[in-house]
Chains A and B, each alone.
Chain A
Amino acid sequence: MKVVTLVAAIVLSVTVQTASARVFDLTFVNIDIPLVVVVLSALSGGPIVGLWAGTLAGFLQDLMSGGLVGVSGLAKSFIGVTTGFLAKRLMRTG
């Protein structure tokens, strides 16, 4: 169930990111919504969840962007894993 929710959240975030600019003109905000979802999932689920969330979000974003598939995935996976590790370390030390 958690996996389904996470996938749905990522798909929704990518859709909002690509479609919302045409409707609500969010260009002045310039937020990477899928990245926010990736970071949040990594903070709550750890590095593995962050890795897969980053991979999926980046993959979908690359598909929509028309560029090379994998570039965003690589970046977001790395950010997801790093955030997951940092979250674990902070929670342990804090």
Chain B
Amino acid sequence: MFKKRQRIGYLVLAVLLSHVLLISVQVNVSQERNLLQTVGFSALAGIDEIFTSSANAVGSVWSGYISLRDTEEENASLRESIAQLELQLQQQNALARQARSLHRLLKLRNSSEISTLPAQVIAVDATPWFRTFTVNRGTGDGVQQDFAVIAPNGVVGRVVGSPGPWAAKVQLLIDRNAAAGALIDRTRAAGVVVGVDGQSLLRMDYVSNLEDVRIGDAVVTSGTDGIYPKGFVIGTVQNVQRGEDLYKTILVEPVVDFGNLENVLIVLNDERVAQLEGVE
């Protein structure tokens, strides 16, 4: 019994001593040359890799199938969030467009010497024979009949009928009953621009066949009609033909996109106001 215990003691001592020796040997050997560790590590790393691959496979089955139970609800929730965000994005885009439009309008208002009043388009007339829209300014803001309405890029039309206290009807330049005194900007050839029935183009009448008019020439207001201020762009010549009588047949493409107008400026014609007040 004693010998057995003594034998175990020697064995324990030998093993522990061998461990100490092993440690002491490695202290003086650099890590790069530690062959024992390199071989042993490689062998165990192989086993490790197999185990990890198996565990990963189990893990992927878990995450790929079992935990997919909540995915349907999560998907529905995310779709709802996306729909809300898209709605918000559209609202923000609309606000940005409006801001840009107002910015252009403000620039025009500051740059022109004439007195203007900003107005917002609040209704559009859908009938094809009459091209009009309603703005949120009326007699309460000083708006009177035949006041010109302009946009940042050109002439829009004029106030028609009797404006209400808070709203007024605007006849677009493309209305078949609309007309404006005009000039070919390059040659200063005068004429009258009128709306063409059923078309989004304008026609320029009373320009002599002798005048030099080319496609692409800018057409501006002449100011002779007493409604539109002088020098504002109406459009560009799209087609010009020699007429059978004394005058050319000129088609003008308006610069204003009448379909997308949101904000406009009403030209406050002080002379016109004084005239109207004098009549009354």
- In the complex, the chain A residue whose C-beta lies closest to that of B25 is A70
Complex CA gap A60/B15 in Å reads 16
The size of the chain B interface, using a CB distance under 8 A, is 25
**With A18-B48, A19-B52, A69-B26 as contacts: A51 and B12 at CB distance below 8 Å:** yes
Interface flag for B188 (CB, 8 Å): no
| Interface residue A36 (Cβ < 8 Å from any Cβ of B) | no
Which residues of the partner chain B approach A11 to less than 8 Å between Cβ atoms? 47
Which of B16, B36, B51 touches A16 (beta carbons < 8 Å)?
Answer: B51
Closest A residue by C-beta to B56? A23
CB distance from A47 to the nearest CB of B (A): 6
Q: In the complex, are the beta carbons of A63 and B41 less than 8 A apart?
A: yes
With A68-B23, A68-B27 in contact, do A23 and B55 touch (Cβ < 8 Å)?
yes
A-side interface mostly: helix
Q: Mark A1-24, 1 if CB is under 8 A from B, else 0.
A: 000000000010011101110111
Report the interface size class on chain A: 20 to 34
Interface contact A24-B12, CB-CB below 8 Å: no
Q: How far is the CA of A47 from the CA of B8 in the complex (A)?
A: 8
Query: How far apart are the CA atoms of A28 and B224 in the complex, in Å?
Result: 89
Q: Mark B50-85, 1 if CB is under 8 A from A, else 0.
A: 011001100100000000000000000000000000
Query: B5 CB to closest chain A CB, in angstroms?
Result: 10
Q: Nearest residue in A to B48 (C-beta to C-beta)?
A: A19
B59 cross-chain contacts in A, Cβ below 8 A: 23-24
Judge if A41 is at the interface, Cβ distance under 8 Å: no
Contact B26 A15 (CB under 8 A): no
Q: How far is the CA of A23 from the CA of B36 in the complex (A)?
A: 28
Contact A77 B15 (CB under 8 A): yes
Cα of A64 to Cα of B12 in the assembled complex, Å: 24
Residue A83 at the chain B interface, CB threshold 8 Å: no
Q: Which residues of B contact A16 (CB under 8 A)?
A: 51
Sample (25) of A-B pairs whose CB atoms are under 8 Å apart? A15-B51, A18-B44, A19-B51, A19-B55, A23-B52, A24-B55, A47-B8, A47-B12, A59-B40, A60-B40, A64-B44, A64-B45, A64-B48, A69-B23, A69-B26, A69-B34, A69-B36, A69-B37, A70-B26, A71-B23, A74-B19, A74-B20, A77-B15, A77-B19, A81-B12
Seen from chain B, the residues whose Cβ lies within 8 Å of a Cβ on chain A are 8, 11-12, 15-16, 19-20, 22-23, 26-27, 34, 36-37, 40-41, 44-45, 47-48, 51-52, 55-56, 59
